[in-house]
Amino acid sequence: MRVDQRLIAEMIAPRARVLDVGSGDGTLIDYLYRTRSCDARGIEIDMQNVTQSVAHGLPVMHGDADHDLADYPDDTFDYVVLQRTLQAVERPREVLRQMLRIGRHAIVSFPNFGHWRLRLQLLTTGRMPMTPVWNTPWYSTPNIHPCTIRDFLLLCEEEGYVIQQWLAIDEDGARAPWRRSIRLANLFGEQAMFLLKRAGH
Amino acid sequence: MDISASPSIADGPVYTHQTVRLDSGLDLECGVHLAPLEVAYCTYGTLSPARDNAILVCHALTGDQYLAERNPLTGKPGWWSRMVGPGLPIDTDRYFVVCSNVLGGCMGTTGPRSICAETGKAWDSEFPPITMHDIVAAQAKLIDHLGIDRLFAVIGGSMGGMQALTWAADFPDRVFAAMPIATSPFHSAQNIAFNEVSRQAIFADPDWHDGHYRDFGAIPARGLGVARMMAHITYLSEEALSRKFGRRVRHDAATAVPASSSPSLFGEMFEVESYLRHQGSSFVRRFDANSYLTITRAMDYFDLAAEHDGDLANPFRKSQTRFCVVSFSSDWLFPTSQSRLLVRALNRAGANVSFVEIESDRGHDAFLLEEPDFDRTIRGFIAGAAEHAALKVGER
């Protein structure tokens, strides 16, 4: 399991109801079920991953964040997880709204477009940056909505979400030491992870 | 055409199917009380002492209870013998597998060929109209008789999937896991249309005799055969037909045109034509026309949402059943879009649902054929459900 998935798992209370949106090969939900007795389910866009997950006995359905969250009733889950996918969905704001409608908490991770290497590349070369995290050229990237950590904070403020926890993580998913300063995290954090809840809860 | 072959089902040998007779009978949705009720069935494996390892497999329109053993009528292997057996995805070393002939069928369960208690004669075309709920209620009587309170799983493809859904809707507490495969929560206008063509073909047969063909020692073999030919096309796909037959023409002695004869429109036979005729002629030897009409009508009536105030989520609210919905990419009879409708409704109901579309070019029939991803899906879903049910069914 990736280190950032372990960080996500640590945020989730035992026996919680969890929906992992973009569950991949099902590693996280399998872990949550086996070690935390969670009722963990998945939605996954890649059919091979879906088949593999179901073949491992995991409750995973073929679907995607943009189209399949609207069906669930309010408060179906305690946590709705979106790993490294927010930048690739059609309507990130709507996806977040749905996540925090059907779940009491949302856990969101995304690659930070504010990282210094990206800023420097754009400044010095005048071309779209390419890094180990942002590694597809502009014309074929699935990442159609990149944002920085500060952009995301602003959106949470606009939408009235309470940030219960945030952390910057490096490319391998390990926690980065920028936990006090958003400004530093936005410059040096390759990825960010947020635990959110609705205001007034 | 050779599909008016010998009417063997009408006067052929009588087979003894394993049957339970329930004198209390069954109240049908149409108001008729059907008594006695006989249900023919097969079982495989052993029921656990806790009686918690039973899997009910529901057969499709023209299937039967001979799931995993030689069919006594056709002599062929059971229709799902590649899926059900020791060590197979539906593992009879671990599970007690039950399959029963549907109500209205012609393989031993009460149907049009049964004797009506009031008249002392066979029902034939007077057999009352039945619904998917009646079919499932009859199965429930069998499950009661077998002393099984809760089924570990109900699995079925096509019309079998309609039954699996109906089980989950009608008996939510008696179904731990449900696997509706290549199916739909309602019968579409297109599918009703196909059924109607099938039925009109049967009605147009001079041997139909308003459904009392048995009194005349006849069967509407041409009509039933054409019905089957047409239906069989809907079970396949253009790709499957092209791959299997292409435009190839048969060149064997039986169909060869004698040199002396004048040119004829039908002097040659495409292989696909020959195949369909074979499908038609072999079908009429094993299936009763009145059963075909009764069961296709039950499918046409099927619409779970309409029965629950127009919302398909309603029958599944508070359902604790684990669902696994499976569709096949080239199935145009029960397309993936209909499975997706079902999945969405299950999500609205907050149910636990897995959903896989299996990539296959073999159309609706893919669920009966060798599809490794499908096998893995069934095996995995059952194993996962068994873990959640804390079944003691041996090692995973």
Q: Check residues B256 and A1 and name the one with the higher pLDDT.
A: A1
CA distance A108 to A96: 9
CA dihedral A130, A136, A139, A145 (to 10 degrees): -90
Split at pLDDT 50, 70, 90, the class of B298 is very high
> Tokens representing A22?
């973009």
The confidence score (pLDDT) of residue B385 equals 96
CA distance B293 to B250: 33
Interchain pair B380, A56: CB under 8 A? yes
Identify which of B350, B301, B229 has the alpha carbon closest to the alpha carbon of residue A17. Answer: B350
Residue in B322, B348, B356 nearest the CB of A51: B356
CB A90 within 8 A of CB A66: yes
Q: Which residue, among A62, A76, A78, would best test binding to B if mutated, counting the most B CBs under 10 Å from its CB?
A: A62
Phi, psi of B278, deg, nearest 5: -65, -45
Q: Enumerate the β-bridge partners of residue B384.
A: none
> Tokens representing B57?
């497999």
CB neighbours of B317 closer than 8 A, spacing ≥ 6?
A: B349, B350
CB neighbours of A131 closer than 8 A, spacing ≥ 6?
A: A115, A117, A118, A121
In which element (H, E) is residue B34 found? strand B33-34
> What's the whole-number mean pLDDT along residues B7-12?
45
Interchain pair B355, A58: CB under 8 A? no
Residue in A39, A53, A55 nearest the CB of B379: A55
Whether the CA torsion B373, B376, B380, B382 is positive or negative: it is: positive
> Tokens representing B243?
């791959």
pLDDT per residue over B352-390, tens digit each?
Answer: 999 999 999 999 999 999 999 999 999 999 999 999 998
Is the predicted pLDDT of residue B7 greater than 50, yes or no? no
CA distance B392 to B395: 8
Interchain pair B354, A55: CB under 8 A? no
CA distance B250 to B258: 14
> Which residues of chain A does B345 touch, with a Cβ-Cβ cutoff of 8 Å?
71
The confidence score (pLDDT) of residue B250 equals 86
CA distance A50 to A177: 35
- Strand pairing of B37-44 and B96-100? antiparallel
The confidence score (pLDDT) of residue B4 equals 39
CB B211 within 8 A of CB B121: no
Identify which of B97, B114, B115, B96 has the alpha carbon closest to the alpha carbon of residue B105. Answer: B114
Q: Check residues A2 and B236 and name the one with the higher pLDDT.
A: B236
CA distance B99 to B81: 12
Domain residue limits at A123: 3-198
> Tokens representing A164?
């219960």
> What's the whole-number mean pLDDT along residues B202-208?
98
- Strand pairing of A103-111 and A191-198? antiparallel
> Tokens representing B95?
């599970």
pLDDT per residue over B104-161, tens digit each?
Answer: 999 999 999 999 999 999 999 999 999 999 999 999 999 999 999 999 999 999 999 9
Q: How many percent of chain B have pLDDT more than 70?
A: 92
pLDDT per residue over A66-120, tens digit each?
Answer: 999 999 999 999 999 999 999 999 999 999 999 999 999 999 999 999 999 999 9
Is the predicted pLDDT of residue A160 greater than 60, yes or no? yes
CA distance B371 to B251: 32
Split at pLDDT 50, 70, 90, the class of B396 is very low
Query: Which residue from B minimizes the CA distance to A49?
Result: B356
> What's the whole-number mean pLDDT along residues B306-324?
97
> Which residues of chain B does A73 touch, with a Cβ-Cβ cutoff of 8 Å?
348, 350
Mean pLDDT, rounded, of chain A: 93
Split at pLDDT 50, 70, 90, the class of B324 is very high
Split at pLDDT 50, 70, 90, the class of A169 is confident
Question: B366-381 burial string, b = 16+ CB within 10 Å, else e?
Answer: bbbeebebbbbbbbbb
Is the predicted pLDDT of residue B395 greater than 50, yes or no? no
Tell me the HSE value of B249 on the side-chain side, using a 13 A CA sphere: 9
Q: Is B348 on the interface with A (CB under 8 A)?
A: yes
Identify which of B104, B20, B88 has the alpha carbon closest to the alpha carbon of residue B55. Answer: B88
The confidence score (pLDDT) of residue A171 equals 72
The confidence score (pLDDT) of residue A201 equals 54
Is the predicted pLDDT of residue B327 greater than 90, yes or no? yes
Q: Which amino acid is at B318?
A: K
CA distance B224 to A84: 57
Split at pLDDT 50, 70, 90, the class of A180 is confident
CATH of the domain at A90: 3.40.50.150
The confidence score (pLDDT) of residue B252 equals 64
B100 conformational bin, left if phi > 0, alpha if psi -120 to 50, beta if neither:
beta
pLDDT per residue over A55-68, tens digit each?
Answer: 999 999 999 999 99
pLDDT per residue over B81-94, tens digit each?
Answer: 999 999 999 999 99
Q: Tell me what ipTM this predicted complex has.
A: 0.91
CB neighbours of B202 closer than 8 A, spacing ≥ 6?
A: B208, B220, B223, B224, B227, B289, B292, B293
Query: Which residue from A minimizes the CA distance to B385?
Result: A57
Q: Compute CA B20 distance to the chain's CA centroid, rounded to the nearest angstrom.
A: 20
CB A151 within 8 A of CB A185: no
CA distance B30 to B302: 14
Is the predicted pLDDT of residue A43 greater than 80, yes or no? yes
> What's the whole-number mean pLDDT along residues B60-66?
97
- So which residues of B are the catalytic ones? 158, 331, 364
> Which residues of chain A does B350 touch, with a Cβ-Cβ cutoff of 8 Å?
72-73, 76
Is the predicted pLDDT of residue A133 greater than 90, yes or no? no
Is the predicted pLDDT of residue B253 greater than 60, yes or no? no
> What's the whole-number mean pLDDT along residues B217-244?
97
- Strand pairing of A191-198 and B33-34? unpaired
pLDDT per residue over B258-284, tens digit each?
Answer: 555 667 777 789 999 999 999 999 999
Cα end-to-end distance, chain B, whole Å: 53
Query: Which residue from B minimizes the CA distance to A33?
Result: B388
Longest dimension (CA), chain A: 50
The confidence score (pLDDT) of residue A3 equals 82
The confidence score (pLDDT) of residue B260 equals 59
> What's the whole-number mean pLDDT along residues B243-252?
89
> Tokens representing A8?
């996500």
Is the predicted pLDDT of residue B254 greater than 70, yes or no? no
**Number of compact structural domains in chain A:** 1
Residue in B345, B350, B353 nearest the CB of A59: B353
pLDDT per residue over A10-22, tens digit each?
Answer: 999 999 999 999 9
Distance from the B354 Cα atom to the nearest Cα atom in chain A, whole angstroms: 4
> Which residues of chain A does B343 touch, with a Cβ-Cβ cutoff of 8 Å?
61, 63
Is the predicted pLDDT of residue B23 greater than 70, yes or no? yes
The confidence score (pLDDT) of residue B5 equals 37
> Tokens representing B304?
């779970």
CA distance B223 to B225: 5
Predicted structure pTM score: 0.93
